[in-house]
Structure 1
């Protein structure tokens, strides 16, 4: 796994890499401009290297053959993830697969979900920037340069992406996924690979259609495995995922400072909470804790919908009007909740 990260590590970072370390058959390579002495040698399968944003940009220009690409902000690096197999070739040359992922993640037993497709030699496993792995061959690693035809026109999505510093999601829906779909390349997707959230909601609600309507839920990391814990008809139920993606969580206030001998923690609206036992009483308590007041939930949702342009550019004055998105969530996705 190749993870460049430019800028200060977030408060949850130590917990993130602790969960990575439990997947001991996967090597994780970090490239950062931050001090790395604290992390060197801490885990036998996690390696830290120093790099600058400018150096990554230069390497991207070399392997792609395209000069003067746009990459002036760390977040733009996400668009260049499909190039990492070439940019960091000397680190991945001996591996059958390489990949990329986000760090706002908690990894469980990811191998359980990817070993099968690896044995079948799928070209690509996963469908999102927060976790995708690629079969390591020169031809597959260079597919990001392939052009596709859209609306009767030949388009090179990579060239288009490099012309702007805005995020274009080339690492997933608007780039490499389109290329794979257009050419019919192999892409393995498993509904239990990722436990994702409805990020515009204050409380941690799963966006999995099977569980999105459950009245109470929270996430659990237990001895190297990740679960959605949810309540349905009075029963506490578990669904295992390969990893949890905690996207756009800026409201966390609780983090784990002591990772020594950490076996279990839950994740709720306020963040990460170590627990000693996984039993009915404990899980009931934390599912209840993952439930804010109605006023707080409405205020948080309204901020996402009406104070940002995440879902629409249509606005009156300073108020955005994401009517189409809300209707889509209610009528099409059927996962709207407050």
Structure 2
């Protein structure tokens, strides 16, 4: 497998699932991670380095690569700067074939079970949804965010408006440039506006109205268990699960078998069967009502950040 490094800047209070996120990174021994943060974090994993710095220091590092004043007033705006890391953080990426970034409100399975040698040899961008993306580490590819194809990066970097440059603009640029990229859907992106743990990509499929869904992290591998409408178990492996605006309280104690449920992260203490499903993942009418309210509040705040801030 090619050498891969993932850059993870995060500033502010850590989410409840952070220790589990860190453990899942540590289980991917053949992928390196750099976590840039203002929090006091210790890593016991050889493949994870912690770079302790304030947000303003990280901002100044990015600024050094541009001859105009960038707009970067808060960590939220970093989503627009993620595609620049190959250029602005190049001294951290020496010796790596691919670099990338990811969110921390997620848990990895095995990256090498999905990012194959064939995909790495053929594609210059791998995935594009923002929670996890990889880029080939060479000058041509690292400079593609500055291409005149698509939206001008200078417009994005001189405005406090959020453009979602990482997950919307960069895929468009790669397609306009006719650069090969991998568009696979190997991950779970949890719908933030439903009480149950439902993948946003599963609408209108056979399993959307299934009795229940459960996720399991098993010694570094991630699985989705489903009890379908015929009462049969279906078990599928995935690259990662992204919680997306959902707090996941970690009730584990470094166990190797973890259940990911509406009740949070729980140690798996018995075999997975129908009774366990019913205990851990039930429908909740009032929970769905609250989620709908949260959605309207989020939309309002997002419009303020995206369209009013200049």
- Choose from 299, 306, 309 the match for 1:309: 299
- CA displacement at 1:312 relative to structure 2: 9.2
- Higher RCO, Cα 8 Å, sep 6+: 2
1:187 equivalent to 2:152? Answer no
Q: Distance in 2 between matches of 1:231 and 1:85?
A: 43
Describe how 1:90-129 pairs up with structure 2 within 5 A: 90-129=91-130
Question: Which of 213, 223, 241 in structure 2 is aligned with 1:217?
Answer: 213
Matched, 1:258 2:260: no
Q: CA deviation at 1:287?
A: 5.0
Listed one character per residue, the Cα deviations across residues 126-166 of structure 1 (whole Å, up to 9, x for unaligned) are 111100000100110111111225xxxxx41x122213223
Please give the alpha-carbon distance, in whole angstroms, between the structure 1 residues aligned to 2:251 and 2:291: 27
SS class of match (2:128):
strand
Q: Report the Cα offset of residue 212 of structure 1.
A: 2.9
Q: Are residue 162 (structure 1) and residue 157 (structure 2) matched?
A: yes
SS in 1 for 2:9: strand
Runs of 4+ in 1 over 4 A off after TM superposition: 310-313
Q: Summarize the Cα distance change of 1:203–1:162 in structure 2 as closer, same or farther, 3 Å threshold.
A: same
Residues 1:236 and 2:236 are matched in the alignment: no
* 1:32–1:305 distance in 2 versus 1, CA, 3 Å: closer
How many angstroms apart in 2 are the aligned matches of 1:117 and 1:100?
21
- 1:307 and 1:53, CA in 2 relative to 1: closer, same or farther beyond 3 A? closer
Residues 119, 162 of structure 1: alpha-carbon distance in 2 compared, 3 angstrom cutoff: closer
Aligned to 2:3: none
Cα-to-partner distance string for 1:201-225 (whole Å, 9 max, x where unaligned): 1221122334333231121111211
Question: Which residue of structure 2 lines up, in the alignment, with residue 60 of structure 1?
Answer: 62
Q: Figure out how many residues of one structure are paired with residues of the other and give that number.
A: 294
Q: Map Cα deviations across residues 82-115 of structure 1 (whole Å, 9 max, x no partner).
A: 0111222122110011100000111011111002
Contact 2:103 2:131 in 1 (8 A): yes
Tell me, what secondary structure is at the counterpart of 1:185?
Answer: coil
Q: Is the 8 A contact 1:266 1:286 kept in 2?
A: no
Q: What is aligned with 2:10?
A: 5
**Aligned counterparts of 1:208 and 1:309: Cα–Cα separation in 2:** 20
In structure 2, the CA distance between the partners of 1:290 and 1:118, relative to structure 1 (3 Å rule), is: same
Q: Give distance in 2, aligned partners of 1:169 and 1:272.
A: 30
What residue number does 2:29 align with? 24
2:26–2:45 Cα contact (<8 Å) kept: yes
- Deviation at 1:292? 3.5
* Structure 1 alignment gaps of length 5 or more: 150-154, 314-338
TM-score, normalised via structure 2 length: 0.88
**CA distance, structure 1, for counterparts of residue 127 and residue 180 of structure 2:** 11
**Secondary structure at 2:107 match in 1:** strand
- C-alpha separation in 2, matches of 1:245 and 1:99: 16
2:76 matches 1:75: yes
- 1:208 and 2:205 aligned: no
User: In the aligned structure 1, how far is the partner of 2:281 from the partner of 2:211?
Assistant: 11
Q: CA deviation at 1:45?
A: 0.7
Offset of 1:22 from its aligned partner? Answer: 0.6
TM-score normalized by the length of structure 1: 0.81
Say whether the 8 Å CA contact 2:217–2:258 is kept in structure 1: yes
CA RMSD of aligned residues (A): 2.0
Structure 2 regions of 5+ residues with no counterpart? 1-5, 304-310
